[in-house]
């Protein structure tokens, strides 16, 4: 029994290595890490640039203020840098000019921003930092969680289908249907193969992009989530590839899944945009829990694991049924 | 020519799933047309403790930011620590008679500076010495432009995928071998392969354009989309010629998806201080298309989108040259079974 399973497993590993999928995985890993380390984590938003045209004195001032030579020059700068604010000082008083932001509140803030930047004394106030994560660390963790989720949901899905259609093409499914191999083994071995690949991927992602000491704290919790996510996606991908006749159909169905279920989740979880409807997306809960774990926050409730477990079992049973049907057909 | 087109069209329409997926961008565009607010703006958010700030100050703050009220300081701190957004907590301390601002520690420089501005307004500094203000009308629908551009990119992506898979399935079925023997020139062959995908992409993107763009912008948009459709068709032709079988095609499709949809978004959300890096994105197919659509949607004129068009034409020429040199049927890298 175990020997048989190991043989199936070895065969699947070989198939993955032959199709060079691990190379694609490594390539994307390097690309993602490069992006996170050198571009995304550096993305601070500086304050608004303030351009001043002073008709009375042409004196220099603070660093964030740029003096311009004419009123027209100031309007030109505002047309180029839409976020910037212009200040014109003349005998009759000063005038603050800016592009409409679309929000009266932001407009008011811009007005006061320019007002304060041009030499007013700022108020005396205290700030207190509550969190322990700096901006750069926050961005690293955030993007790492996005990449891991994207890789596991979107890419696992494609990889499993690629593997399956290749097997179908090579006639392996036909061979299995005459051999006395348990059908459950075929499904289980796929799950194990992709789980191993994804665990390696997550470990490397964490080591390359996160602080090592921090990664040690969260690694076990993250792995628990991967143990839920990866099999879920493999089962779904397997089901879809059994469902569709050829790969062309599969790819188009896949695009719908990516566009409709994955992209909105990233948008609404990681930005200030709010939309209640997002809670009805199953992917929202999966991603949100992974993200919480990456930020070392509350771990998901028992109810969440219960639902995931039930879904896994149902998907597994559907897969068994479908693979039996497929074998009968071939 | 017309016969070939008719035959291909008949073949493709038979596959219902493909027809449905190709209509997806149009459905997204319809939803956008009716359900999205005309402006999406992210305003600063403040958290205050009920009864802590005087009514007058609360009114002042309401003119600067969205206000959420919490019963205790502990609740307020918990809200600030929720790290998907940048909520700042404000509490007035009676003992020191100062305002305390609670930050999470990962805020941008801009948020820190806006905090200082709000503190000034609260302390009453701002009411002295007022200045006149002039608000220039500007297009501020950045988020809307982004969503429209992504919808367009999706339609273009489906167009190139359609060509890739038509070519690869021909290889799988053995028709490709026939093509090598038939007496047609490489250009004729290329046109035959991409004509349906190209026309389909043009139709779908035009429909989306008519739905989401005002009529004044269509003058620039329609020619632009035609060139963009030719561009993605060439991408489809190159990938379709390169891929020997479905498995390779799948893997390249992943790359095409990433390149066409995610790379431009990365460029879009890049902070303004990295502006010079954006020039390099023009090397990647898709960025000139994306940038051009955003520019047209923001109401730019011809001089703004002309560089994008030229870069696209250069890419098309390079792609076609590459195809003609090595990828054409019988060429060195043309792979078939």
B205-264 residues touching A, CB cutoff 8 A: 245-247, 249-251, 253-254, 257
Strand partners, A51: A66, A86
B86 and chain A in contact, CB less than 8 A = yes
Q: Which has the closest alpha carbon to A308: A293, A286, A324, A288?
A: A286
Cβ contact A304:A221 at 8 Å: no
Burial class from Cβ neighbours inside 10 Å (0-12, 13-18, 19+) for residue A181 reads middle
B98 and chain A in contact, CB less than 8 A = yes
B134-153 residues touching A, CB cutoff 8 A: 134-138, 140-141, 150
Task: Compare all CA atoms of chain A with the CA of B278 and give the residue at the minimum distance.
Answer: A39
Dihedral sign from CA coordinates of B127, B130, B131, B135: positive
pLDDT value for A187:
85
Contacts of A122 in chain B (CB under 8 A): 116, 119-120, 125
| A248: nearest CB among B28, B108, B165 | B165
The C-alpha atoms of residue A110 and residue A97 are separated, in whole angstroms, by 9
With pLDDT > 70 as the criterion, what percentage of chain B qualifies? 84
B335, part of any domain: no
The C-alpha atoms of residue A311 and residue A285 are separated, in whole angstroms, by 14
Q: Which tokens go with B68?
A: 């959420």
Cα B127 from chain centre: 42
Q: Which tokens go with B295?
A: 């520019």
Domain of B87, CATH number, reads 3.40.120
Same domain, B212 and B312: yes
A106, part of any domain: yes
A93-122 residues touching B, CB cutoff 8 A: 93-109, 111-113, 115-116, 120-122
Q: Among B127, B148, B177, give the residue marking a domain's end.
A: B127
- Given a cut of 50, whether residue B337 has pLDDT beyond it is no
Q: Which has the closest alpha carbon to B162: B200, B208, B209?
A: B200
Same domain, A94 and A229: no
Average pLDDT rounded to a whole number, residues B265-289:
73
Cβ contact B149:B202 at 8 Å: no
Average pLDDT rounded to a whole number, residues B39-58:
80
Q: Which tokens go with A141?
A: 């963790």
C-alpha distances (whole Å) from A54 to each of A69, A71, A86, A158 are 8, 9, 11, 61
pLDDT value for A231:
92
Contacts of A124 in chain B (CB under 8 A): 98, 119, 123
The C-alpha atoms of residue B318 and residue B312 are separated, in whole angstroms, by 10
Q: Which helix (H) or strand (E) holds B17?
A: helix B16-35
B180, part of any domain: yes
Q: Which tokens go with A202?
A: 């997550």
More confident residue, A150 or B249: A150
Half-sphere exposure of A215 (CA within 13 A, CB side): 15
- Given a cut of 80, whether residue A199 has pLDDT beyond it is yes
Cβ contact B323:B190 at 8 Å: yes
Same domain, B94 and B162: no
Phi, psi of A245 (to 5 degrees): -70, -45
Number of separate domains in chain B = 2
Question: What digits encode the pLDDT tens for the residues B157-205?
Answer: 888 888 888 888 777 777 767 766 777 777 888 888 888 889 888 998 9
Q: Among B100, B127, B154, give the residue marking a domain's end.
A: B127
pLDDT value for B8:
74
Same domain, B257 and B109: no
| A129: nearest CB among B105, B120, B154 | B105
Sequence length of chain B is 337
Cβ contact B288:B282 at 8 Å: yes
Contact assignment for A130 to B77 by CB distance below 8 Å: yes
B169 and chain A in contact, CB less than 8 A = yes
pLDDT value for B271:
59
Longest CA–CA span in chain A (Å) reads 95
Same domain, B148 and B88: no
A64, part of any domain: yes
Same domain, B112 and B31: no
Question: What digits encode the pLDDT tens for the residues B291-310?
Answer: 888 888 877 777 888 888 88
A283, part of any domain: yes
A10, part of any domain: no
Coil, helix or strand at residue A262: helix
pLDDT value for B156:
86
Contact assignment for A39 to B136 by CB distance below 8 Å: no
| A130: nearest CB among B45, B81, B246 | B81
Contact assignment for B65 to A109 by CB distance below 8 Å: yes
| A166: nearest CB among B65, B134, B247 | B247
Same domain, A24 and A100: no
Task: Compare all CA atoms of chain B with the CA of A24 and give the residue at the minimum distance.
Answer: B251
Q: Which has the closest alpha carbon to A118: B97, B200, B117?
A: B117
Burial class from Cβ neighbours inside 10 Å (0-12, 13-18, 19+) for residue B253 reads buried
Of A138-152, A185-199, B133-147, B230-244, the least confident: B133-147
Contacts of A125 (CB under 8 A, 6+ apart): B98, B99, B100, B101, B116, B119, B122, B123
Average pLDDT rounded to a whole number, residues B209-223:
85
Average pLDDT rounded to a whole number, residues A187-201:
90
B6, part of any domain: no
Same domain, B194 and B298: yes
Contact assignment for A121 to B125 by CB distance below 8 Å: yes
The C-alpha atoms of residue A98 and residue A48 are separated, in whole angstroms, by 11
Same domain, A178 and A156: yes
Instruction: Give B152's pLDDT tier (boundaries 50, 70, 90).
Output: confident
B3, part of any domain: no
Distance from CA of A279 to the nearest CA of B (A): 15
Same domain, B58 and B21: no
Mean pLDDT of chain B: 79
Cβ contact A109:B44 at 8 Å: yes
Contact assignment for B108 to A44 by CB distance below 8 Å: yes
The C-alpha atoms of residue B67 and residue B49 are separated, in whole angstroms, by 10
pLDDT value for B230:
92
Phi, psi of A246 (to 5 degrees): -135, 170
pLDDT value for B270:
65
B49, part of any domain: yes
Question: What digits encode the pLDDT tens for the residues A284-330?
Answer: 888 888 988 898 887 788 889 999 999 999 999 998 888 888 777 76
Same domain, A283 and A146: yes
Same domain, A78 and A220: no
A124, part of any domain: no
Contacts of B257 in chain A (CB under 8 A): 255, 258
More confident residue, B250 or A222: A222
The C-alpha atoms of residue A230 and residue A40 are separated, in whole angstroms, by 26
Same domain, B179 and B316: yes
Q: Please measure the distance between the N-terminal and C-terminal CA atoms of chain B and give it in whole angstroms.
A: 26
Q: Considering just the CA atoms, what is the radius of gyration of chain A in Å?
A: 28
Which position has the token pair 């290595």?
A: A17
Residue ranges making up the domain that contains B63: 45-127
Average pLDDT rounded to a whole number, residues A250-268:
72
Cα angle at B236 between B233 and B239, to 5 degrees? 150
Contact assignment for A96 to B133 by CB distance below 8 Å: yes
The C-alpha atoms of residue B311 and residue B313 are separated, in whole angstroms, by 5
Q: Which has the closest alpha carbon to A25: B272, B301, B254, B267?
A: B254
Same domain, A158 and A258: yes
Q: Which helix (H) or strand (E) holds A146?
A: helix A135-150
C-alpha distances (whole Å) from A90 to each of A56, A96, B28, B297 are 6, 11, 51, 37
- Given a cut of 70, whether residue B1 has pLDDT beyond it is no
Average pLDDT rounded to a whole number, residues B89-117:
85
A6, part of any domain: no
Strand partners, A128: B102
Same domain, B150 and B24: yes
Mean pLDDT of chain A: 81
Same domain, B106 and B185: no
Residue ranges making up the domain that contains A200: 16-41+134-329
More confident residue, A66 or B331: A66
B273, part of any domain: yes
Contacts of B45 in chain A (CB under 8 A): 272
Same domain, A33 and A78: no
B7, part of any domain: no
Contacts of A135 in chain B (CB under 8 A): 105-108
Same domain, B92 and B150: no
Instruction: Give B40's pLDDT tier (boundaries 50, 70, 90).
Output: low
Same domain, A110 and A211: no
The C-alpha atoms of residue B140 and residue B40 are separated, in whole angstroms, by 9
Q: Which tokens go with A269?
A: 């979880």
Same domain, A143 and A243: yes
Tell me which DSSP letter residue A40 carries: G
B132, part of any domain: no
Cβ contact A176:A326 at 8 Å: no
Q: Which has the closest alpha carbon to B141: B325, B303, B296, B285?
A: B296
| A256: nearest CB among B24, B40, B102 | B24
Interface test with B, best of A259, A266, A289, A298 (most B CBs within 10 A): A259
Same domain, A233 and A87: no
pLDDT value for A223:
93
Same domain, A89 and A208: no
Interface test with B, best of A272, A274, A290 (most B CBs within 10 A): A272
Average pLDDT rounded to a whole number, residues B260-268:
73
- Given a cut of 60, whether residue A61 has pLDDT beyond it is no
Distance from CA of A132 to the nearest CA of B (A): 7
Number of separate domains in chain A = 2
Q: Among B92, B127, B162, give the residue marking a domain's end.
A: B127
Within 10 A of A228 (CB to CB), how many other CB atoms are there?
A: 19
Same domain, B165 and B83: no
Helix axes A212-243, A183-209, angle to 10 degrees: 150
- Given a cut of 50, whether residue A102 has pLDDT beyond it is yes
Task: Compare all CA atoms of chain B with the CA of A151 and give the residue at the minimum distance.
Answer: B254
A247, part of any domain: yes
């Amino acid at each position: 029994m175990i020997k048989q399973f190991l043989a199936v497993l070895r065969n699947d590993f070989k198939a993955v290595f032959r199709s060079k999928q691990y190379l694609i995985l490594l390539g994307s890993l390097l690309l993602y890490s490069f992006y996170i380390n050198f571009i995304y984590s550096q993305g601070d938003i500086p304050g608004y640039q303030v351009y001043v045209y002073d008709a009375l004195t042409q004196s220099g001032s603070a660093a964030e203020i740029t003096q311009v030579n004419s009123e027209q020059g100031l309007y030109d700068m505002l047309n180029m840098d839409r976020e910037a604010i212009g200040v014109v000082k003349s005998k009759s008083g000063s005038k603050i000019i800016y592009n409409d932001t679309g929000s009266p509140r932001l407009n008011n803030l811009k007005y006061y921003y320019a007002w304060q930047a041009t030499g007013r004394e700022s108020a005396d106030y205290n700030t207190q930092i509550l969190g322990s994560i700096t901006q750069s660390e926050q961005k690293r963790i955030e993007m790492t969680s996005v990449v891991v989720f994207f890789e596991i949901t979107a890419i696992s899905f494609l990889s499993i289908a690629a593997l399956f259609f290749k097997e179908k093409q090579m006639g392996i499914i036909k061979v299995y249907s005459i051999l006395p191999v348990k059908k459950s083994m075929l499904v289980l071995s796929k799950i194990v193969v992709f789980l191993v690949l994804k665990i390696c991927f997550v470990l490397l992602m964490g080591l390359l992009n996160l602080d090592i000491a921090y990664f040690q704290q969260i690694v076990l919790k993250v792995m628990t989530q991967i143990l839920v996510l990866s099999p879920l996606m493999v089962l779904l991908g397997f089901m879809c590839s059994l469902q569709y006749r050829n790969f062309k159909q599969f790819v188009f169905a896949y695009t719908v899944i990516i566009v409709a279920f994955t992209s909105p989740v990233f948008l609404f979880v990681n930005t200030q945009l709010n939309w209640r409807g997002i809670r009805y997306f199953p992917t929202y809960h999966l991603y949100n829990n992974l993200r919480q774990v990456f930020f070392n926050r509350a771990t998901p409730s028992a109810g969440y694991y219960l639902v995931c477990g039930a879904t896994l079992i149902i998907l597994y049973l559907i897969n068994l049924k479908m693979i039996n049907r497929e074998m009968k057909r071939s | 020519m017309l016969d070939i087109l008719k035959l291909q069209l008949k073949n493709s329409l038979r596959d219902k799933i493909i027809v449905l997926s190709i209509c997806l961008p149009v459905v997204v565009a319809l939803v956008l047309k009716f359900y999205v607010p005309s402006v999406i703006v992210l305003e600063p958010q403040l958290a205050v403790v009920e009864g802590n700030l005087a009514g007058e100050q609360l009114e002042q703050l309401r003119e600067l930011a969205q206000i959420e009220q919490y019963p205790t300081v502990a609740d307020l701190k918990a809200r600030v620590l929720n790290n998907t957004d940048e909520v700042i907590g404000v509490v007035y301390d009676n003992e020191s008679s100062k305002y305390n601002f609670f930050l999470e520690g990962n805020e941008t420089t801009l948020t820190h500076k806006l905090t200082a501005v709000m503190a000034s307004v609260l302390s009453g500094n701002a009411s002295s010495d007022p200045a006149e203000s002039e608000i220039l009308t500007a297009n501020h629908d950045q988020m809307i432009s982004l969503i429209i551009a992504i919808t367009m990119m999706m339609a273009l992506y489906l167009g190139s995928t359609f060509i890739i898979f038509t070519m690869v399935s021909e290889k799988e079925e053995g028709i490709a071998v026939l093509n090598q023997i038939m007496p047609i020139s490489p250009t004729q062959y290329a046109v035959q392969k991409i004509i349906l995908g190209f026309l389909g992409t043009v139709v779908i993107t035009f429909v989306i354009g008519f739905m989401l763009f005002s009529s004044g912008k269509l003058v620039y948009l329609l020619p632009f989309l035609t060139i963009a459709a030719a561009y993605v068709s060439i991408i489809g032709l190159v990938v379709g010629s390169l891929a020997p079988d479905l498995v390779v095609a799948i893997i390249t499709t992943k790359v095409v998806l990433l390149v066409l949809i995610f790379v431009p978004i990365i460029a879009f959300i890049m902070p303004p201080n990295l502006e010079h890096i954006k020039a390099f994105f023009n090397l990647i197919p898709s960025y000139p298309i994306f940038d051009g659509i955003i520019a047209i949607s923001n109401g730019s004129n011809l001089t703004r989108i002309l560089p994008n068009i030229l870069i696209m034409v250069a890419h098309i020429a390079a792609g076609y040259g590459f195809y003609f040199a090595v990828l054409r049927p019988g060429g060195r890298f043309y792979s078939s079974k």
